A and B are shown apart, each in its own frame.
Chain A
Amino acid sequence: MNLAVNLERSASFFPDCPVISENGLEMSYAGLNEQANRVATGLIKLGIKPGDHLGLCAPNSPDWLIFYFGVLKAGAVAVTLSSLLSQDEFHLLVSHAKLRFLFTTESRLSSLYDIRGTEGIEKIICPKGDLTLQQISDQGTVYFEAVDRNRIDTAAILYTGGTIGMPKGVMLTHENINTSAHNVAFSERSTEKDRALCFLPFNHVFGQVHIMNATILSSGCLELLPAFDLERVIGLIETGRVTKLFAVPTVYARLLMLENLETIMGNVRYCFSAAASLPTEIVRQWKERTGINICEGYGLTESASAVTYNHYYRHVVGSIGGTVPGVEVQIRDMSGNRVERGQQGEICILGRNIMKGYLDNPEATAEAFWEDGWFRSGDLGYFSDEGYLYIVDRLKELIITGGENVYPREVEEAIYTRHEIAECAVVGIPDKEWGERVVAFLSVKPGQEISPDTLKTYLKSRLSGFKVPKEYIIVSDMPRSPAGKILKRELKKIYKM
C-alpha cells in the first residue's frame, strides 16, 4: 500500500483534468504524476532509500505537491514542516527529524548553512541551494510506479504542539492517511467535478489530509491560495471556481460581515469548518443567509483528521457529529474506564486512522495511549442519546477558579450571541485569590462598540456568576496559528505585558 497510488489512479482516470490551480495556472493529473515520477526516480538516483526522512518546509505550491508525492513514491517519508516556524523552532525540528534532504525556500538558506554540519542534512533543495527541484526532476524518468510499502509504514510526519519539551512528530502511516482521505471523500461526496479551495497549509493535517489527499483520491481540483486573503477568497468564489469551501470559524465570521454574501456564493455546494469549535451562532447565520450548512468535523493530527462528522443529513448544531465509518470513540474517565452515555470524560479514539506513535518520543507515545490501544485525545466530551458527540473543552484549557470548573467554550458561546462581537477568546490567568480568574479577549465588528460593563451585565443573565469573566480586553486582531486558530497561549503572553 502506497498513498501515492491515489495520485496514479486519478492520473489514469482523468489525465487531463486539473489537480491544482493557482493564479489561473493549472497543472493536470498526468502532469503532476509525471513530475512526481521524475522526482521519485531522481531521489532514488541520489541515494534515497525507502524509509528515509525527507523534509518539506515551504508554503503551498504545485512544487510542494510534486515533491511530496515524489518522496512517497520513492517509499521515503515526507516530514512536513510549517513554513512559518521561527528559526529556533525550525532548527529544533530539522534536527529532531534527522532529515537527509530538505525541500525549502531560499529565505531559509542562510540559517540552514549555519546548522547543516551538525544536523547532517545532505542536500538542501531550493533555488540557489545544493540542488533545485528541476535538477532532481531532470535526473529522473517519467514512467515509474510507487514503491510498494507496508500499510503500517510511515508515510508522513507532522509536528504538533508547542516547542516546550521534546517535539511531537506524529507518524502517520500509508493506511492512516488513506483511511482518513477516503473517509473525508465519502462524507463529502467528493467527485472529480469538485474544486476545493485550499488556503490552509499542506504541512497541517487539515490541509494535507482532509483537503489535499482527499481531493486527490477523488480526482478533484485544488484551488490554491498561499494564505488566507479575504479579497482573493471572495474573488475565487464569485467566479464560480470553488465548489467546496474549507475554513476555520473565524473565516466564516469574517465572511458573514459581508453585506452581499448571499450573492457571491457562486458554485459553492459544500462548507466545512475545522480546527476549532464552531460557535452555534455562526452556523445559524450562515445557513440562514446562504442555505448551506457548515459541516463540522473533529479530528487531530494524531487521528490523521476525521474522527467525527456533523452530517449534512442532520446537522446537530453545537455537536461535532457522529463517528465516521470505521472509527470508534469512547468517553473515559482519568483511569481509563468507560463512562456511561451522557457523562463527561476524555474522548478516546480507536481506528485505522490513529497514528503509529510520536517519532523518537517513546514517553509521549506511551502517555498518548491506554494499554488497550485507545488513543487519548486530551479533549473533554460526552455523547448524546443519538450517538452525537459534544466537546466540552480541551482538558488543558479548563479554567479552575475558586474550585469551580469553567469551560472557556461555554463562555465564548455566550459572548458570541452579542451581535457586536467579531471574535472572542476566554482564558484563565493566574490569580492569587481564585487560583485562576476568567479573562475575555474580544474584537468588535467594524462600526460597533460594546462596553465591558454592558457585556458583563449581559453575561450575568446567561451564566453562573463564577463563569462570568472578571476582565475584558479589547484587541484589534487575535494572534493566530497558520491554520487560523486563535492562539490562547499568545493571548496569555499579551496579558502579562
Chain B
Amino acid sequence: MNLAVNLERSAFFFPQRPAVRQTGLEVTYTQLNDQSNRIATGLMQIGVKPGEPVGICAPNSAEWIAFYFGILKAGAIAVTLSSLLTGNELANLVNHAKLRIIFTVDAKLQEMELLKGSGGLEKIICNGGDLSIHRLMDMGSGSFNAIDRDRLDTAAVLYTGGTTGIPKGVMLTHEGINFSSYSIAYYERSTEKDIALCFLPFNHVFGQIHIMNSTIMTSGCLEVLPTFDMEKVLEVLETGNITKFFAVPTVYIRLLSLPDLKETLGPLRYCFSAAASMAMEIVKQWKERTGITIAESYGMTEAMPITFNHYYPERHVVGSVGQSVHGVEVQIRDASGNFLEQGQEGEICIRGPNVMKAYLDNPEGTSAAFWQGGWVRSGDIGIFDPNGYLSIVDRLKDLIITGGENVYPREVEEALYSSPEVEECAVIGLPDKEWGERVVAFIVPKSGKTISNDALKTFLKTRLSSFKVPKEYIIADELPKSPAGKILKREIKKKFING
C-alpha cells in the first residue's frame, strides 16, 4: 500500500483534469503525476532509499504537492515542517528527523545552509540551493509506479507540540492517511467535480490530509493560496468556482457582512469550520443566507478525523463536534484509563486505523500517549450525549490555532517566564478575524517592575518563531485561579470576551 497510488489512480481516471491551481498556474493530474514520478526517480538517483526521511519546509504550492508525492512514490518518508519555523526550532526538528535532504524555498536557504555543518543535512533543494527541483526532475523519469510499502510503514511525519523536551514527530502510516482521506471524502461526498480552496498550510494535518490528500484521492482540484489573505480569498470565491470551503469561524463572520453573499459564493456547496466549535448564531445565519450548513469535525495530528458533525443539515448538532466517524472508536475514560459511561465527562480516547504509529524516536512520549490496546489519549475532555454526539468540554492541551499553525501556550509562557519582569503569565487564543485565533498574553509584572510591550515582543522574537509571538499583551494585577492554584484560562477568556 502506498498513499501515492491515490494520485496515480486519479491520473488514470482523469488525466486532463486540473489537480492544482495557483494564481494563473494550472497543473493537470497527468502533469502532477509525471512531476512526482520524476522527483521520485530523481531522489532515488541521489541515493534516497525506502524508509528514509526527506524534509519539506516551504509554503503551499503546486511544487510542494509534487515533491510530497515524489517522496512517497520513492517509498521514503515525507517530514513536513512549517515554513514559519526559524532558528533553534527549525534546527531541532531537522536534526531530530535526521534529514539528509530537504525541499525548501530560497527565502529559507541561508538559514538551511547553517544546518549543514551541525546535523546530517546534505542537500538543499530549491532554486538557489544545491539542486533545483527542476534539475531534480530532469534527472528522473516520468513513467514510474509508486514503490509498494507495507500499510504500517510511515508515510509522513508531522511535528506537533513545542520545542520543550523531545520533539513530537507524529508518524502517520500509509494506511492511516489513506483511511483519513477516505473518511473525509465520504462525509464530504467529494467528487472529481469539486474545487477545494486551501489556504491552510500543507505541513499541518488539516491542510495535508483533510484538504489535500482527500482531494487528490477523489480526483478533485485544489485551489492553493500560499497564506491566508482575506482579499485573495474573496477574489477566488468570486471567480474560482470553488465548491468546498474550509475556514475558521471568524472568516465566516467576516463573510456574513457581505451584502451579496450568496452571489459571491457562486457554486459553493460545502462549508467546513476548522477550529473551535461554531457559535449557533453563525451557523444559523450562514444557513439562512446561503442554504449551506457549516460542517465540523474533531481531530488531531495523532488521529484524524475522530468525529464528524454530519452534513445532514437537520442533524447537525450545534456546539457538538459530531459522531465518531465510521471505523473509528471513541471512548471517554477517567484519569486511570477506566471506561466511563455515556453522559460522564472524561478524556477522549481513540482507536482506529487512523491513529498514529508512534512519535518518532520518542518512546517516552509514545508510551504516555497510549493506553493499552492501541487507544490514543487526546488530552481533551469530552462528553457524549445519548445520540452519540461528542462535545469538547476542555482542551487540556490549550492549543491555539493561528493562521492554521499550532501554538502551544506552554511554550510561549516558558519564554515569557524567562524575562526578568514577568511574575506570572497566561497565554491564550482569542478569536481573530484574520488569523482565526490570535495569541494573547496576560501578564502580572513582578512588583516594582514595569513592562514595555515592545521590549517584550522583541525579546520573544529572539526565542520563538514569529507566529508564536503574542500579538497583544495585557497587564493584570492578578489572574483567576482554581482553589488548587491553577490559572483558569477559561475564566480569563470569559472575562475578556464579555468585557
Contacts and interface: CB of A to CB of B under 8 A. Distances in A.
A185 B323 contact: no
Interface string A1-21: 100010011001110000000
B333 interface: no
Given A178-B326, A328-B1, A13 B186 contact: no
A325 B217 contact: yes
Contact of B315 (A12, A178, A191): A12
B380 interface: no
A284 B67 CA distance: 40
Contact of B14 (A151, A182, A313, A326): A313
Given A217-B326, A328-B1, A186 B8 contact: no
Contacts of A352: 327, 353
Contact of A387 (B8, B178, B388): B8
A325 B178 contact: yes
B312 A13 contact: yes
Nearest to B9: A322
B206 interface: no
Contacts of B179: 325-326
Classify chain B: how many residues form its interface, as a range.
20 to 34
A387 B315 contact: no
Interface string B182-226: 100110010110000000000000000000000001010000000
B186 A326 contact: no
A185 B14 CA distance: 22
Interface string A307-337: 0000101100000001001101000000000
A457 to B, nearest CB: 40
Contacts of B175: 326
Given A326-B175, A328-B1, A178 B8 contact: no
A227 interface: no
Interface in B138-193: 145, 151, 175, 178-179, 182, 185-186, 189, 191-192
A387 B186 contact: no
A154 interface: no
Contacts of B191: 189
Nearest to A322: B9
A186 B185 contact: yes
A5 B328 CA distance: 12
A74 to B, nearest CB: 18
Contacts of B14: 313
A346 interface: no
B13 A326 contact: no
Contacts of B351: 151
A189 B353 contact: no
B23 interface: no
B182 A325 contact: yes
B327 A350 contact: no
B417 interface: no
Contacts of A189: 189, 191
Contacts of B12: 314, 386-387
Interface in B49-89: none
A326 to B, nearest CB: 6
Contacts of A191: 189
A175 interface: yes
A175 B327 contact: yes
B93 interface: no
B315 A186 contact: no
Interface string A172-198: 000100110010011001011000000
A450 to B, nearest CB: 39
A326 B8 CA distance: 15
B426 interface: no
Contacts of B388: 5, 8-9, 12
Contacts of B327: 1, 175, 178-179, 182, 352
Contacts of B423: none
A387 B323 contact: no
B329 interface: yes
Contacts of B326: 178, 182, 217
B5 interface: yes
Contacts of A322: 9
Contacts of B315: 12-13
B182 A9 contact: no
A323 to B, nearest CB: 9
B9 A326 contact: no
A9 B9 contact: no
Nearest to A341: B145
30 contacts: A1-B327, A5-B388, A8-B388, A12-B388, A13-B312, A14-B312, A175-B327, A178-B326, A179-B327, A185-B186, A186-B182, A186-B186, A189-B189, A189-B191, A192-B312, A217-B326, A311-B13, A313-B13, A313-B14, A314-B13, A325-B182, A326-B175, A326-B178, A326-B182, A341-B145, A352-B353, A387-B5, A387-B9, A387-B12, A387-B145
Given A314-B12, A387-B8, 18 more contacts: A1-B329, A8-B388, A9-B388, A13-B310, A151-B351, A178-B327, A182-B186, A185-B186, A186-B185, A313-B14, A314-B13, A325-B182, A326-B175, A326-B179, A326-B182, A328-B1, A387-B5, A387-B145
The 10 closest A-B pairs by CB, nearest first: A313-B13, A325-B182, A182-B326, A186-B186, A314-B13, A13-B315, A13-B312, A386-B12, A328-B1, A12-B387
